[in-house]
A and B are shown apart, each in its own frame.
Chain A
Amino acid sequence: MKEYVRCSRCGEQNPAFRKTCEWCGARLPHSGDEYLPSGPEEEQDMDALVEPEPEAFDTSRLLEDESLRRWLNEVLGEEFVDAGAPSDAQAPEEETEEEPAEVPLETTEPAPWEETGPLSEESPLPEDLQETLATLAEQAAVEEEAEAPAPEDEVPPWFAEAPETPPEMAAETQDVSEPVFLEGPSEVPSPPAPFPEEDAGEETPVEAPVSAKPFAQEPLDLEQGPQEVELPPWLLEEVPEPEAEEALLPEAEGPPEAEELPPWLTSEEEEPSLEEALLPFGPEEEETAAPTPPMEDETPTVSPEPDEQAEVPVEEAGEGGPIFGEMALDEQELASLLDETAFKEEAGEEAVTEELAPGELPDWLSALRPEEEGEQAAPPVAESELAGPLAGIPDVLPVEARLADMVQKEGRLVLKLLVRKEEQQWARWLQHWIRQEEAREGTEEDVVVARPMPYWLWRVVVGLLLLAVLALVLVFGPQGRVASPPPSRGAQAFLAVAQGLPEQAVVLLAVDYNPAWAPEVNRSARTALRLVEPKNPHYLVVATQPYGLILAQDLLQSVGVPPERYTLLGYLPGDRLALALLARWPRAAFPPPVQGESPWNQPHLAGWTGLEGTALVLVVTDQATRARDWIEQLTPYLAEGTTLAFTGSLQIVPVLEPYFDTQVQGWIGGLMDAAALASQTQTEIPLNLWTAWWMSWPLGLFLGVFSALTLAVVKRIRQGEEA
């Protein structure tokens, strides 16, 4: 059975138990069925491998641990089982068929340690056990170091003095709270294999990432110091790292060559990046430390220094081993990591920006770039990217870059990052451009467009001009009565109707107007009443507005109608439905009052069932639609001899014109008709018939038309400019 399986996608070697490639994530060819946990016990074994318990570390119990023994059996071979393992460590038949114990012997592609290491035949079994125990001890030591706060820029004393310090000194510097199991390796019966001299004297590189996998992680004996760390020869003669690993691990394995990377990428390498911090946790990095050690002597080891690079990994390892491909960070850790991976600091941003040459951008991005710095290009459109390669293209940056930038700024999110090398580079690249875009906002590249005068300012100017002209004319205009204008045909017809009324006729006065909207209605209505009043009619007052009755009373009193000559039928709500009811059953529309006598009991209304006894229906309204409602609802039910006339605003006249002489017998449309009839009949009408009042009106009309035309021209010109 193979110990390694080569990925068909990336060509990298992977441990045989993995189902997916630890480099590219592709599914491995062997499918990993034979390495899948065959039962709950093996699943527990795998969990134990992934998450060792430091507290439970006891060298005396290690041999009793079946899971560890099985794992060692898989890794080291049958010798371990034969030497120290109980007899039950041998798997059942069905398990041995799937996982034969002689894995190293049948390996078609022998593992590196099998080729070079002494574990297979020469080295005694306790030596292997000692190495394994040293590995576990290293994990515990790393955990202790991670828990103890240490300065970032300061190397621990024990590490600085490690090459010169004898093991006794290292034991003295050991923390008193150090767990007991750290003394375990010294109690191993067999002494550790002698370290090669050329390797024993070398310091372990600090920048080495922590390997999370137990057999890939090299131990560091804290008691004896780094010089006494015993590493198996197979680790010292590690196979050379593949080229793909170099491409994937630029930061961890040293700075990449300058000719292989663009300047914008090489500039990042001057500072610690996100991938440097996250490298040990990546799904492909955690197990690559062993086959691709970054040290010169190719000795994978653990840097006990809690520096920036190893801070988080050490903590993760101390918490119970690595979690493959998954990393849980709290907010402070995440913020610190993201701060470390800031693409450029305040001082270094300029240099980084300068190094970002446009010619090194991707082709598709270069094609989208409309302008370069210093080039004369068209101003970017508002509401879009103002500068840079994304100018004129709104919302092209993906959301993950914004999210990464937001997390980096606020640092309050707790994320489980599952990142790869390519994703990190992509995110950093996007962050770089986002910051560049933000930095360019408000600079000289912003296009300053002269905004035209807004429309609301135009309205204010026109309104003030109109008020000023009208006020000046009213104050300083000529005084005196206005010359009588000629009456319209509707006014002439109304005069004829008024003069033709019989004496003491019944006039239905309908008040349906809003004085605030049309102040002229009040005056035109008074003119109409004064024309009708010589016949001494009796008024039946109907109001379709709540305040209609008050207005009607004011009108009647203003023309001198005594209260006994009018009857307030009341308020008639219901819009046109109420009008239809009034036209058909006026008694039903106005029930008898609670107190007092019913108006329908009056002598001149006795026997009425409808509006047949009404000589004139005079509607006072200011709205054309209301005038049409009155015409439509009443005229079909008006009796012969009953006329319908209107008085009110000037704006009802166009609607009344089509009904003239067929359904409507006359009207007084606004002040024009009122003044004309007042002058013709020599009726004293309390109208503002002084000259200044009338002069201001045509002047206001002229200003209104002029303003409308001016604004229309201005708007048209502006639209043309915008187009």
Chain B
Amino acid sequence: MMLSELLGLGVALFLTMGILSYVLFGNHELFRIAAAVFVGSVAGYLGAVVLRSFLIPRLWQVTGSPQWALLLPWALALLLLLRGTRLRGLSNVVLALLVGVAGATLIAGAVLGTLFPQIEATWREWAGFTLHLSWAQGLVSWVLVMMVLMAFYFGRTETWPRVMRWGIGVGQKVGKAVVVVTLGVLFARVYQVALLALIDRLAFLWDAIRTFLLGW
């Protein structure tokens, strides 16, 4: 093992021990040092990357090969700097633009990238055109999707017929159960991943200890 690798391994061991010691000793000096090193290095690197790969190329794009239309984004960006001044009302224009565009993008992506494709896929499965699921599986999938959608219905049902209200009630209960199970699965996957990270760090520590102390 080269000296640089040993040095890097030692630093990594020190920082890892500092972070994991939070479990036993809480917020102490070693933990704060390790956390400060990580946060500081990430922040510094982030600033360098943004400056080098984003700001400077876009500024060069305007000045190097004059494209005066690109001055508009820069003007909008500069307006954001007026948040702390009396002209902060101008920055609201930029914020409104950002929020509006972000919302439109989110909705468009959800509709075009999830809702419509999922409706189409569900319909195909229910119609038995899929190769992976049987007809019964497609029907169950379709029914569960409908019930989940019912679970997020919060309108008034007093004027509805009794049978429909009963069906909505049952569908909402089943849909909520499906949502709960889904969230449970997601949480279980998160826990699995976190456990893998812990095992990986413990294995790293054991490898480091074997390397430094035991020599094997």
Contact of B198 among A470, A633, A636 (CB under 8 A): A470
The reply to whether the CB of B120 lies closer than 8 angstroms to some CB of chain A is yes
Contact A653 B189 (CB under 8 A): yes
Known A576-B106, A580-B109, A628-B114: A591·B57 in contact at CB below 8 Å: yes
Apart from A573-B50, A662-B120, A688-B203, what are 20 other A-B pairs with CB-CB below 8 Å? A463-B23, A467-B23, A471-B202, A471-B206, A474-B202, A516-B197, A518-B197, A546-B42, A546-B50, A547-B42, A571-B50, A591-B61, A594-B56, A629-B109, A633-B109, A636-B113, A649-B189, A670-B192, A697-B196, A704-B195
Please determine whether A632 and B196 come into contact, CB atoms closer than 8 angstroms: no
User: Which residues of chain B come closer than 8 Å to A650, judged between CB atoms?
Assistant: 189, 192-193, 196
A519 touches which of B45, B110, B196 (Cβ 8 Å): B196
| Least CB distance, A651 to chain B, in whole angstroms | 4
Q: How large is the interface on B (under 10, 10 to 19, 20 to 34, 35 or more residues)?
A: 35 or more
CA distance A632 to B24 in the complex (A): 43
Q: How far is the CA of A674 from the CA of B164 in the complex (A)?
A: 48
| CB-based contact A654/B189 at 8 Å | yes
* A696 cross-chain contacts in B, Cβ below 8 A: 199, 202
Confirm or deny: A364 has a beta carbon within 8 angstroms of a beta carbon on chain B: no
Whether the Cβ atoms of A651 and B186 lie closer than 8 Å is yes
A247 in contact (CB, < 8 A): no
Query: Using an 8 Å CB-CB cutoff, how does the interface string of B169-197 with A read, 1 for contact, 0 for none?
Result: 00000000000001001100111110111
Question: With A658-B121, A688-B200, A700-B195 given, is the CB distance from A624 to B186 under 8 Å?
Answer: yes
A474 and B203 contacting across the interface, CB-CB below 8 Å:
yes
The residue on A at minimum CB distance from B204 is A519
Which residues of B from 43 to 96 have beta carbons under 8 Å from A? Answer: 45-46, 49-50, 53-54, 56-58, 60-61, 64
Residue of A with least CB distance to B141: A658
Please indicate the chain B residues that have their CB under 8 angstroms from the CB of A189 in the complex.
Answer: none
Question: Contact mask A631-660 → B, CB, 8 Å, 1/0?
Answer: 111111000000000000111011100110
Q: A-B contact count, CB below 8 Å?
A: 144
Interface string of A612-626 (1 = CB under 8 A from B): 000000000010100
B120-160 residues with Cβ-Cβ distance < 8 A to A are 120-121, 130, 132
The answer to whether A651 and B117 touch across the interface, beta carbons within 8 angstroms, is: no
Q: Does B11 contact A (CB under 8 A)?
A: no
Tell me which of A592, A663, A700 contacts B113 (CB under 8 A): A663
Instruction: Tell whether A520 pairs with B57 under 8 Å between CB atoms, given A467-B202, A470-B199, A577-B101.
Output: no
**Contact indicator B105/A671 (Cβ below 8 Å):** no
Residues in A whose Cβ lies below 8 Å from that of B120: 662
Is the CB–CB distance between A654 and B186 below 8 Å? yes
Write the residues of chain B forming the contact surface with A, with a CB cutoff of 8 angstroms.
23-24, 42, 45-46, 49-50, 53-54, 56-58, 60-61, 64, 101-102, 105-106, 108-110, 112-114, 117-118, 120-121, 130, 132, 182, 185-186, 189-193, 195-203, 206
**Which residues of chain A have a CB within 8 Å of any CB of chain B?**
460, 463-464, 466-467, 470-471, 474-475, 489, 516-520, 546-547, 549, 570-571, 573, 575-577, 580, 591-594, 622, 624, 628-629, 631-636, 649-651, 653-655, 658-659, 661-663, 670-671, 688, 693, 696-697, 700-701, 704
Given A651-B189, A651-B190, check contact A632 B110 (CB 8 Å). yes
Residue of A whose beta carbon sits closest to that of B57: A591
Which residues of chain A have C-beta atoms less than 8 A from B190's C-beta?
Answer: 651
Nearest Cβ on chain A to B197's Cβ, whole angstroms: 5
Residue numbers in B under 8 Å from A466 (CB-CB)? 198
State the 9 A-B residue pairs at the shortest beta-carbon distance, nearest first: A632-B113, A632-B109, A651-B189, A546-B46, A519-B200, A570-B53, A636-B112, A591-B61, A546-B49
Asked if A591 contacts B118 (CB within 8 A), the reply is no
Q: Which B residues are in CB contact (< 8 Å) with A635?
A: 113, 117
